[in-house]
Amino acid sequence: MLQQSDLTLIKPYLYQGNVVNIEVTNTKKGREIVLEYQDGKKLCGNLDIEPFTMRELKRLSSIVSHFARGKYGSNQWRGNCSGLLIKDLLEYYQPKTFGDLAVGSGTSFEVARDLGYTAENSVFSDLNPKYGGVDISVPNLDFPLMDFIFFHPPYFVFPGSSMPVYSGIHNGGMWGDDIHPNDGSRITNPVTFKKWFDTCNANLYNLLHNGGRLAILMGDSRYKGKYYSMFKNMDIYGEIEQVIIKRQHNCLTDSVQYSGKFIPIEHEYLVIIKKNSPFVIPITAVNFCERDIRTSQKVTWATVIAMLLEYHGGKLEQKSLIDMMRRHPKGKGNNHLDAKLRQELQVHPKMFFRQNDFICLSTT
Ligand SMILES: C[S@@+](CC[C@H](N)C(=O)[O-])C[C@H]1O[C@@H](n2cnc3c(N)ncnc32)[C@H](O)[C@@H]1O
Alpha helix ranges (H) inside 105-243: 107-114, 190-206, 230-233
> Which residues form ligand 1's pocket by a CB distance below 6 Å?
73, 77, 79-81, 102, 104-105, 107, 126-128, 135-137, 152-154, 166, 182-185
CATH code, domain carrying 51 = 3.10.450
Q: Could you tell me the distance, in angstroms and rounded to a whole number, from the CA of residue 152 to the centre of ligand 1?
A: 7
Whether 23 shows a pLDDT value over 60: the answer reads yes
Q: Could you tell me the distance, in angstroms and rounded to a whole number, from the CA of residue 125 to the centre of ligand 1?
A: 9
Of the candidates 73, 61, 9, 5, the one whose C-alpha atom is nearest the C-alpha of residue 35 is 9
Q: What atom in ligand 1 is closest to the CA of residue 183?
A: 16
Whether 114 shows a pLDDT value over 60: the answer reads yes
Residue 76 lies in a domain: no
Q: Could you tell me the distance, in angstroms and rounded to a whole number, from the CA of residue 39 to the centre of ligand 1?
A: 24
Whether 69 shows a pLDDT value over 80: the answer reads no
User: Average pLDDT, stretch 261-268?
Assistant: 89
> Which band of pLDDT confidence, cut at 50, 70 and 90, is reported for residue 111?
very high
Residue 119 lies in a domain: yes
User: Average pLDDT, stretch 49-56?
Assistant: 93
User: How far does CA 112 lie from the centroid of its chain?
Assistant: 24
Task: Give the gyration radius of the chain's Cα atoms.
Answer: 28
Question: What are the phi and psi torsion angles at 198 (to 5°)?
Answer: -60, -40
Whether 356 shows a pLDDT value over 90: the answer reads yes
Q: Do 127 and 170 have their domain in common?
A: yes
Whether 364 shows a pLDDT value over 80: the answer reads no
Instruction: Indicate the top mutation candidate among 183, 198, 204, 217 to test ligand 1's pocket, ranked by most ligand atoms within 8 A of CB.
Output: 183
Residue 68 lies in a domain: no
Would you say 90 and 115 are in contact if contact means Cβ atoms under 8 Å apart? Answer: yes
Q: Which range is least confidently modeled, 3-12, 165-174, 178-187?
A: 3-12
Q: Could you tell me the distance, in angstroms and rounded to a whole number, from the CA of residue 135 to the centre of ligand 1?
A: 10
Residue 74 lies in a domain: no
Q: Do 323 and 268 have their domain in common?
A: no
pLDDT at 68: 81
Instruction: Indicate the top mutation candidate among 103, 186, 201 to test ligand 1's pocket, ranked by most ligand atoms within 8 A of CB.
Output: 103
SS3 171: helix
Burial of 305 (0-12, 13-18, 19+ CB in 10 A): buried
Q: What atom in ligand 1 is closest to the CA of residue 81?
A: 8
Q: Do 136 and 211 have their domain in common?
A: yes
pLDDT at 308: 97
Q: Do 29 and 100 have their domain in common?
A: no
Residue 291 lies in a domain: no
pLDDT at 74: 84
**Rounded to an integer, what distance in angstroms lies between the CA atom of residue 302 and that of residue 345?**
9
Residue 65 lies in a domain: no
pLDDT digits (tens, 9 = 90+) for 220-235: 999 999 999 999 999 9
pLDDT digits (tens, 9 = 90+) for 265-301: 999 999 999 999 999 999 999 999 999 999 999 999 9
Q: Do 37 and 107 have their domain in common?
A: no
Instruction: Examine the fold and report which residue of 253, 284, 315 is the final residue of a domain before the chain moves on.
Output: 284
pLDDT at 260: 64
User: Average pLDDT, stretch 160-170?
Assistant: 96
User: Average pLDDT, stretch 183-199?
Assistant: 98
- Host domain of residue 139: 83-284
Mean pLDDT comparison of 38-42, 66-70, 315-319, highest-scoring range: 315-319
SS3 26: strand
CATH code, domain carrying 210 = 3.40.50.150
Q: Whose CA is nearest to atom 7 of ligand 1?
A: 80
Share of the chain above pLDDT 70, in %: 97
Q: Do 347 and 312 have their domain in common?
A: yes
Q: Do 158 and 273 have their domain in common?
A: yes
Whether 1 shows a pLDDT value over 80: the answer reads no
Q: Whose CA is nearest to atom 27 of ligand 1?
A: 104
Q: What is the DSSP string of 67-91?
A: S---SSS-TTSTT---HHHHHHHHH
Q: Which amino acid is at 168?
A: G
Q: Could you tell me the distance, in angstroms and rounded to a whole number, from the CA of residue 279 to the centre of ligand 1?
A: 29
Q: Could you tell me the distance, in angstroms and rounded to a whole number, from the CA of residue 80 to the centre of ligand 1?
A: 9
Q: Whose CA is nearest to atom 5 of ligand 1?
A: 104
Q: Do 92 and 156 have their domain in common?
A: yes
Q: Could you tell me the distance, in angstroms and rounded to a whole number, from the CA of residue 14 to the centre of ligand 1?
A: 37
pLDDT at 256: 53
Q: Do 46 and 89 have their domain in common?
A: no
Look at the chain and report how many structural domains it folds into.
3
Q: Could you tell me the distance, in angstroms and rounded to a whole number, from the CA of residue 154 to the centre of ligand 1?
A: 6
- Average pLDDT of the chain? 94
pLDDT at 250: 62
Please list, residue by residue across 95-112, b when 16 or more beta carbons sit within 10 angstroms of its beta carbon and e when fewer do. Answer: bebbbbbbbbbbbbbbbb
Whether 236 shows a pLDDT value over 70: the answer reads yes
Whether 255 shows a pLDDT value over 70: the answer reads no
Q: Do 167 and 278 have their domain in common?
A: yes
Would you say 83 and 70 are in contact if contact means Cβ atoms under 8 Å apart? Answer: yes
Residue 69 lies in a domain: no
Q: Which residues pair with 148 in a beta bridge?
A: 98, 213
Of the candidates 194, 217, 220, 355, the one whose C-alpha atom is nearest the C-alpha of residue 273 is 217
Q: Could you tell me the distance, in angstroms and rounded to a whole number, from the CA of residue 105 to the centre of ligand 1?
A: 9
> Which band of pLDDT confidence, cut at 50, 70 and 90, is reported for residue 82?
confident
Half-sphere exposure of 53 (CA within 13 A, CB side): 3
**Rounded to an integer, what distance in angstroms lies between the CA atom of residue 188 and that of residue 106?**
25
> Which band of pLDDT confidence, cut at 50, 70 and 90, is reported for residue 253?
low
Instruction: Indicate the top mutation candidate among 166, 180, 192 to test ligand 1's pocket, ranked by most ligand atoms within 8 A of CB.
Output: 166
Residue 165 lies in a domain: yes
DSSP-derived secondary structure letter, 97:
S
pLDDT at 343: 97
- Within 10 angstroms of residue 259's Cβ, the number of other Cβ atoms is 9
Q: Do 270 and 310 have their domain in common?
A: no
pLDDT at 246: 95
Q: Do 313 and 224 have their domain in common?
A: no
Instruction: Examine the fold and report which residue of 255, 284, 313 is the final residue of a domain before the chain moves on.
Output: 284
Half-sphere exposure of 330 (CA within 13 A, CB side): 20
**Rounded to an integer, what distance in angstroms lies between the CA atom of residue 241 and that of residue 60?**
14
Q: Whose CA is nearest to atom 15 of ligand 1?
A: 183
- The alpha carbon dihedral of 344, 349, 352, 358 has a sign of positive
